[in-house]
Structure 1
Amino acid sequence: MAEEEKPLMFHEMELDDRILKAVAKLGWQTPTLIQEKAIPLLLEGKDVLVKARTGSGKTAAFAIPVIQKILNFKQTSMHQEIKAVILAPSKELCHQICKVVKDLTIKCSREVKCIDIAQQEDLTVQKPLLVEKPDIVITTPSKALQHLKAGNLNLKKSLEIIVIDEADLVFSFGYEDEVKQLLEYLPNIYQAILASATLSNDVKSLKERILHNPVTLKLEEPELAPASQLTHYHLKAEELDKATILYALLKLHLIRGKTIIFVNTVDKCYKIKLYLEQFGIRACVLNSELPATIRCHSVNQFNHGIYDIIVASDEKALEEPGNANQNRQIKSKRQKDKNSGVSRGIDFQFVANVINFDFPLDAHSYIHRAGRTARGNNQGSVLSFVSIKETPLLDEVEDKLKHCEGTSIFKSYQFRLEEVEAFKYRAKDAWRAVTKIAVREARLKEIKQEIFNCQKLKSYFEDNPNDLQILRHDKALHTVRVQQHLSDVPEYIIPETLKNITGISKRTKRKRNFNKSENKKFKGKQNNPLACMEFVGFKKKKVAK
C-alpha cells in the first residue's frame, strides 16, 4: 500500500523565523487544510481563489504569505511603500483581520506595519496615517475608494498584492460600483487573492475582473460542520413560550458555554437583553445601528469572556436581493451601517451554542449563523425556536440541507413546557415589562454613552461644559425595573426531573434548634406553609468525588 502523504508543516514552507515564532506563540501546531494548500501557491506569486467554509483558517492562509512577501520586498526596497491592501465587506471583519495580522507580525512589527482605516469616519484623521505609507492597509471598498479619490492613497506604483476577504458578500453589501471604480486606481500587474465561503455568481464576477489565470482551491467539505461535531435542534414554540424556555434553559444551566442568540430585528436585540437582565443574566448586543467602535468592543468583550451571551440581529437576511421574503422587508428610517455584518465574517471565539430566537429567513442565513459555532475542532450546537408562522421556513431550510447533506440534520429538542409552568408566570411579567418605550430608552442610553466616550467631542465639551451637563442631567430613562428576587430560582419551581441535571438535589431536611416554646409555635405553622415566612436557605447536597 502506498504511504499516505504527510501534511506540510509551517516550518517546511520556507517562512521567516519571525513568522514561525509568532505562529508558535499563537499555539498553531499544524496548518489547516486550506493553509497547507494556499500558502505555498501564494508564496509562488500565483493568483488564487480560495473557497472554504467559515472557521477553516482562511484569514491566516492569505495573511502569512502577504507578510512573508513584504519581508522579502524589504530586503531589496529602499523606500517605505504600501505593498498590500486587504478589503473586507464589514468594519468588524477589518478589525478582526488587522488583529490576526498584528499577532502574526508581533516579532517583526518594526519591519511590517499594518493599519485598519475602516473604523474612523473622518478622512482628515486618517490622512496622516497613510502619509507614513504602512506596508498593509486594511479597509472596506468604499473607504478605500474615498481615500483614493481624495489623493490620500496612491497604489499605482507600489501595490503588489490585493486581497478581498468574504468576496461573496462584497456585492451584497452594496460595493459593486466601488469595486469597479477601485480597479481603475490599481497598477496593471499585481497579485490578487479572493477568499470566500461560497462560489456565488458575485464571486465569479469578481474573479473575472480581478484575477489573472488563477488557481482555484475548492475544498471538498460540507458547508456545515459534521454531525459528530455540530448538533442541530428545533423546538416549536410561540413568542412567549420562546421567552420562557430561553429563561429556563439559561437559568437552569441546561445550556452551558458561550452563546449567541440571533434575532431578526434590532429592536428585538434590546428586548431580549432587557428581558434577560431582569433575571440577572448579563448579555451584550450587536447590530448594524451601533457605531463600529461599540460593535468591535462588544465582540472583544464576548471573546475575552466578559460576557458569555451576545444578542445579535441578522438584518442582512432581510435586505439581500432575491430573498423569497423580500415583500416583507422591514422599512426603517433609522440609520444603519451597511459596513456591518453579524452572521458572516466575525470570528466569535469558542462559541458553544447558537440559539435562533427568530428563525432565519433562508438556508444561507441558517448556515452562516450555525457557522459561528463548532469552529476548528470544537463541539457546538444550534437550537432553533420555530413558531407556527416560521414552520414553512424550517421546512425550506430542512429540504435544502437534506439535499446537500443526504439526510435530515434537525432533531426535535425534547422540552416539556408544562414542567416549567412556574417559570412562565415570571417570564410573562418580565416579557411584558419590556415595552417599546423601554427599548427606545435603552437605545438612547447607549447613544449618550457613546457621546460621552467620543474623543472628537472631548474638546468641545471642555469648551462648552453646559452642554455636557444638559446631557448628563437629561430626563430619567424609563428603564425596566429589575427585581432582585428574580435573579434567584427557588427550588420549589424546579421540576423534579431537572433537579439532578441542574445539580440541585432534593431538599434536605433542615435542622433547627428550637426551645420548647419555639417548637410549639412551629408545629402550629407546619400545616400552613405561607404562615411561616422564615427562609433559611437550601443547602446543595455534596457529591462525592
Structure 2
Amino acid sequence: MEENDKPLMFHEMELDDRILKAIAKLGWQNPTLIQEKTIPLLLEGKDVLVRARTGSGKTAAFSIPVIQKILTLKQTSAHQETKALILAPSKELCNQIYKVVKDLTIKCSREVRCIDIAQQDDLNVQRPLLIEKPDIIVATPTRALEHILAGNLNIKKTLEMIVIDEADLVFSFGYDKEVKQLLGHLPTIYQAILSSATLSEDVKALKKIVLHNPVTLKLEEPEIAPDSQLTHYLLKAEEIDKATILYALLKLHLIRGKSIIFVNSVDKCYKIKLYLEQFAIKACVLNSELPATIRCHSVNQFNHGIYDIIVASDEKALEEPGTSVPKQQKKSKREKDKNSGVSRGIDFQFVANVINFDFPLDIQSYIHRAGRTARGNNEGSVLSFVSIKETDLLNQVEQKLKQGQDISIFKSYQFKLDEVESFKYRAKDAWKAVTKIAVREARLKEIKQEIFNCQKLKSYFEDNPNDLQVLRHDKALHTVRIQQHLSDVPEYIVPETLKSLAGISRKNKRKRSLSKTDLSKKIKSKKSNPLACMKFEGFKKKRKS
C-alpha cells in the first residue's frame, strides 16, 4: 500500500462477523499499523516475517488471521483437528497469547477451541485436553515437543499454520534444538508466521528453516512510540534523593494511573517494596525467582486494577557487567528459567507511567521498558531518575532516540527538591531501615508464601473464588518495622506550591493530615499529564528577596 492510500479498517478485511463483534467488544476501533499490513497478507496464505516494536499489536495481528482461517476450514472439514500451533518462549507469553485468542473467539468459542499447555503440569494431566484435538494449541517449544514425543499430540497431517512469537528470543532462550526437532514433526506444507521486535541474526537463522518464500514486513516506524503518544522525562538525582522524590510523587498522588517502577536487581525490587510499605504505599514485586504461575497471576491482578504499582527488574541486570562467562555456562544458566526480565514480552495493560528508578544498562533495555506504556493508541509517560554515574548511559539512549535529529528527547522534570525537605527526613529513616537482612528475609518469605498459596490453596480458591483476595501480591511483608504515623502526610510538610493542588487553603491554619481520599478527589479533577502535574510557576520563578 502507498502511504497516501486510505487506512484499511477491520470491517474491510473480509473477516467473519463473529470476529468483528469480538473486536468491537474489546474496544478496538481501528487496526494498528502492523495489523493493517499483516492481516491481509496472512489471509492470502503467505508466509510472513513480522518485525514491529513492542506494544504495536503483533499478537492480534497473527491471532485474527489464524482464527479466520480455522472458521473457513470448519465449513468443509468433517473432523475435529488441530490446525494451528502457536509457540512462544515463555509461559507468561503463552498465557498472554491464549487470553487474546480467547477474547477474539468469544463469539465463536464452540467452533474454535484453544488451549495453553505451557504450564509445567504432568503430561498425563494435559493428555485429555489434547485428545479432544483443540483447534489452536499455545505452548513453549519444549512443551510442544514433549507432548509430540509422548504421543499425546500428532499434527503431522493436520496442521495448517504455525506461529512463533518473539522469535528473537527463541534461540537466546536455548530453544534452538527443540525448534529444529519440532519442525520434523510438521507437515511438508504449512503456513508460517514469525513475529519479532528485532531482526537479529537468530531471527534470520530461524527464518531460513521455518519460512518458505516469505514476505518480510519491516514497518518504517520508530522502535518506540512517537512523542505525541509517549513523553520522556528526566530528573537528575542521587540514591536518597530518588527515594525522597518517589515517596513524594506517590504519596501526594502526583503520578496517577498504573505505574511500573524499574530497577536493576531483584534485591532492589524488594528494597523499594519494603521502603514504600512504611508509607502505606502498596506495591507488588515481579521477578524471575517466583514460579511462572505467580508471575502470571501478579500481572493479571495488576491488569484488572487490584493494585496500581509493580516493581520490576530486568534479568540482564542480574548478570555482572563486564565479567567473562563461558558461552556454555551462560546457556545452562538461562535454561534454569527461560523467562526473560519483565521489560520484554509480558503484556501489562493500560500502564500510564514507567519510572526508571535505576536507569537501564543499555539502549534496548530503555526501549523495551518504555514499551510497557503507550501501547496501541494509548498515551503514556516515562520518568527516568539519573545519577551522575548514569549520565553516559543517558547520552547513549538520547543519541539513539534522536536518530541524528537536532531535537531534545528528554524533557526536564521540574522538581524543586528543597520544597520537599521535610519528606527527605522521613525518606532517609525509611530507606536506612531496609537493611540487606530485611531484603533477604522478604525474598525468602514471599517465595515460601507464594508456593504455599499455589500448591495448598489452589483447590480451595476454585471452590471459593470470593476469598481469592488472600492471594493479593501487594500485601506487606513485615520484615521492616512499620511506623503507623508515616502513612499520613501532615499539612505542614506539604510544599506551599502543592497545597492548592491538594485542596488546602493557605489561610487554613488547622493542623490536619491529608488522607488518600482527600487528595485523590482533588487531583482526579486535574486533567494535566500524570508526570507533568508538578510543573508549577512557583518552581520556575526566582523568589524575591
Range into which the TM-score falls when normalised by the shorter chain: 0.7 to 0.9
1:438–1:478: 8 Å Cα contact kept in structure 2? no
Deviations 1:304-337 (CA, angstroms, capped at 9, x unpaired): 1111111111113555xxx9745599x9999963
Rg (Cα) greater in structure: 1
1:441–1:478: 8 Å Cα contact kept in structure 2? no
Partner residue in 2 for 1:494: 494
Structure 1 letter corresponding to 2:87: L
Deviations 1:229-251 (CA, angstroms, capped at 9, x unpaired): 21112222222221111111111
* Aligned mates of 1:450, 1:51 — CA distance in 2: 37
How far apart are 1:27 and its partner, in Å?
1.7
Question: Secondary structure of the residue that 2:285 maps to in structure 1?
Answer: strand
* Aligned mates of 2:172, 2:501 — CA distance in 1: 45
Structure 2 letter corresponding to 1:429: D
User: Is the alpha carbon distance of 1:420 and 1:3 closer, same or farther for their aligned partners in structure 2, counting shifts above 3 Å?
Assistant: closer
Equivalences for residues 156-171 of structure 1 within 5 A: 156-171=156-171
Partner residue in 1 for 2:284: 284
Equivalences for residues 51-450 of structure 1 within 5 A: 51-318=51-318, 325=322, 337-403=337-403, 407-450=407-450
Deviations 1:164-188 (CA, angstroms, capped at 9, x unpaired): 1111222222222222222222221
Question: Secondary structure of the residue that 1:311 maps to in structure 2?
Answer: strand
* Aligned mates of 1:298, 1:264 — CA distance in 2: 20
Question: Secondary structure of the residue that 2:311 maps to in structure 1?
Answer: strand
Question: Secondary structure of the residue that 1:31 maps to in structure 2?
Answer: coil
1:254–1:502: 8 Å Cα contact kept in structure 2? no
Structure 1 letter corresponding to 2:443: R
Question: Identity over the aligned pairs, expressed in percent?
Answer: 82
Partner residue in 2 for 1:531: none
2:276–2:282: 8 Å Cα contact kept in structure 1? yes
Deviations 1:1-46 (CA, angstroms, capped at 9, x unpaired): x995322222222222211211121122222222122111111110
User: Is the alpha carbon distance of 1:253 and 1:197 closer, same or farther for their aligned partners in structure 2, counting shifts above 3 Å?
Assistant: same
Structure number with greater CO (CA < 8 Å, separation at least 6) is 2
Please give the root-mean-square deviation of Cα atoms over the aligned residues, in Å. 2.9
User: Is the alpha carbon distance of 1:504 and 1:140 closer, same or farther for their aligned partners in structure 2, counting shifts above 3 Å?
Assistant: farther
Structure 2 letter corresponding to 1:198: T
* Aligned mates of 1:137, 1:327 — CA distance in 2: 40
Structure 2 letter corresponding to 1:297: H
* Aligned mates of 2:121, 2:430 — CA distance in 1: 39
Question: Secondary structure of the residue that 2:388 maps to in structure 1?
Answer: coil
User: Is the alpha carbon distance of 1:348 and 1:117 closer, same or farther for their aligned partners in structure 2, counting shifts above 3 Å?
Assistant: same
Question: Secondary structure of the residue that 1:193 maps to in structure 2?
Answer: strand
* Aligned mates of 2:514, 2:508 — CA distance in 1: 8
Deviations 1:141-174 (CA, angstroms, capped at 9, x unpaired): 2222222232222221111101011112222222
2:19–2:104: 8 Å Cα contact kept in structure 1? yes
73-82 or 440-449: bigger deviation: 440-449
Please give the TM-score of this superposition, normalised by the length of structure 2.
0.85
* Aligned mates of 1:486, 1:153 — CA distance in 2: 57
389-398 or 129-138: bigger deviation: 389-398
2:173–2:334: 8 Å Cα contact kept in structure 1? no
Structure 1 letter corresponding to 2:86: I
How far apart are 1:389 and its partner, in Å?
2.5
User: Is the alpha carbon distance of 1:246 and 1:457 closer, same or farther for their aligned partners in structure 2, counting shifts above 3 Å?
Assistant: closer
Question: Secondary structure of the residue that 1:102 maps to in structure 2?
Answer: helix
User: Is the alpha carbon distance of 1:16 and 1:389 closer, same or farther for their aligned partners in structure 2, counting shifts above 3 Å?
Assistant: same
How far apart are 1:449 and its partner, in Å?
2.6
Question: Secondary structure of the residue that 1:185 maps to in structure 2?
Answer: coil
Where do 5+ consecutive residues of structure 2 fail to align? 460-476, 526-545
2:173–2:338: 8 Å Cα contact kept in structure 1? yes
Please give the TM-score of this superposition, normalised by the length of structure 1.
0.85
2:488–2:514: 8 Å Cα contact kept in structure 1? no
Partner residue in 2 for 1:12: 12
* Aligned mates of 1:536, 1:238 — CA distance in 2: 31
1:94–1:138: 8 Å Cα contact kept in structure 2? yes
Question: Secondary structure of the residue that 2:389 maps to in structure 1?
Answer: coil
239-248 or 401-410: bigger deviation: 401-410
